[in-house]
Amino acid sequence: MKLVAGVDSSTQSCKVVIRDLITGEVVRSGHAKHPDGTEVDPNAWWHALESALEMAGGLDDVEAISIAGQQHGMVVLDESGRVIRPALLWNDTRSAQAALDLIAEFGVETLVTRTGSAPVASFTITKLRWLRDSEPANAAKVAAVALPHDWLTWRLCGYGPAGESALGPVLTELATDRSDASGTGYFNPETNQYDDLLVIAALGHRPILPRILVPGESVGPVVSGRSHAIVACGAGDNAGAALGLGARDGDIVVSLGTSGTIFAVTSTRPQDPSGTIAGFADASGIYLPIAVTLNAARILATISELLGVDFEELSRLALKATSGADGLVLVPYFEGERTPNLPNAKASLHGMSIASTTRENVARAAIEGMLCGLNAGMMALEQLGISGKRILLIGGAAQNIAVQEIARTIFTLPVELPVPGEYVAEGAAVQAAWAVTGERPEWPIEISAKYEPAVNAEVMKAYLEQAKKY
């Protein structure tokens, strides 16, 4: 049996899956936790990767490995390959003003034309500008800038700080793929090239940036132990999930993790000057227009705690309420919001009366608010002329029965529920297999449930009425 490995280095943890090269069957796995916070020492990710690989049985019998990771995070290295300061993660909003400054300097339409996206606080370009303005001494030391998966791939190939790695600080060996690069805010997904003017405008000088690999390309061999595995190019987490799901042109993916995402796989390059849709690249050679919310499963966790119930009871309560929660509307911007770009916003509950303010309605409003926020992204995709045939609903919160049932009242497309899986890591394994065989594998995806739309348009209408007040 030939094996390949895929890694999901997410905000919360590192997950590893080992899959059969031919069938795609997951034969073993491992995981390790990441530190909490919006800035993290990247070395913690490296140690977590080592632990997760050990739990998964190591790489001695593995043909190839690929790492998919959280997007946008800023890893800055000096000439000796050392991390200059803790990485700023995608969910660190301190660079919100930097995003506004860049838009003021270049104009939003120019930025969207050049990069496919309007910058927001999550993008790497804004974090570099923040570094230049807030920590100029650190900014001056920056010799190279990498994203989380770029840096981990580099370390796996044996590179790293002088005296702490087999091959040393060869910064020009940093590599990435177009999906992750497209989330930086200084990369053109149509030309597959960095925009040097934007990089310099952000940081103040042009550092070394990871070279862009094509789908199926490998970086080099693993340099550790007895492994003979090659290292594939890796991907951003959402692009990895798309590969893991086998998503093709016409598929819409809604992911309900701590944050929420809705993205399409399409051959049409999107350009949205409003900034609602980020025009990212996918990991197969086409595009992945995406809307991201900071608040998804955390909404359910917060309301569950408020009501003093677990997720199962929250589901039961929500299904006892009628569609629309008797006029109760939750706009769930608990931790600010990315889409729409409201980093300093807070949540609000509307339509409260003695009659409507029940435990059942509050539970229902939480789920409807979460899904409506993502459906707003669906509507934005449609306004760009991007239509879908089905929605693939994934993520931890997607396993909640009430979420599944209520989704059909919000989304206008059929909703399909793939069996639970580590789709980001499994998508990275697709890349690993691709690097071995030269072809994207066609591994089967099992669908556990299908829901035809039964839309109550009044729910979305009420949500938009309240959300537009922000």
> What are 327-343's pLDDT values in tens digits?
999 999 998 888 888 88
> What are 412-437's pLDDT values in tens digits?
999 999 999 999 999 999 999 999 99
- Active-site residue, selected from the candidate residues 101, 177, 237, 251: 237
Which pLDDT does position 227 carry in this prediction? Answer: 81
249 noted as active-site residue = no
Mean pLDDT of the chain: 95
* pLDDT, mean of residues 43-47: 97
Task: Give CA–CA dist 213/220, Å, rounded.
Answer: 12
Which pLDDT does position 343 carry in this prediction? Answer: 81
Q: Is 147 exposed, middle or buried (0-12, 13-18, 19+ CB in 10 A)?
A: buried
Which pLDDT does position 273 carry in this prediction? Answer: 84
Sheet with 287-293, strands from edge to edge, namely 278-281, 287-293, 260-264, 251-256, 390-394, 415-418, 447-451
Instruction: Could you please state the CATH topology (level 3) that the domain comprising 3-238 is classified under.
Output: Nucleotidyltransferase; domain 5 (3.30.420)
pLDDT at 246 over 90: yes
> What are 207-227's pLDDT values in tens digits?
999 999 999 999 999 987 668
Q: Is 43 exposed, middle or buried (0-12, 13-18, 19+ CB in 10 A)?
A: middle
Could you tell me the residue ranges of all domains in the chain?
A: 3-238
pLDDT at 89 over 80: yes
> What are 48-85's pLDDT values in tens digits?
999 999 999 999 999 999 999 999 999 999 999 999 99
* pLDDT, mean of residues 362-368: 98
Segment (H or E) for 104:
helix 96-106
Place of tokens 């270049």: 106
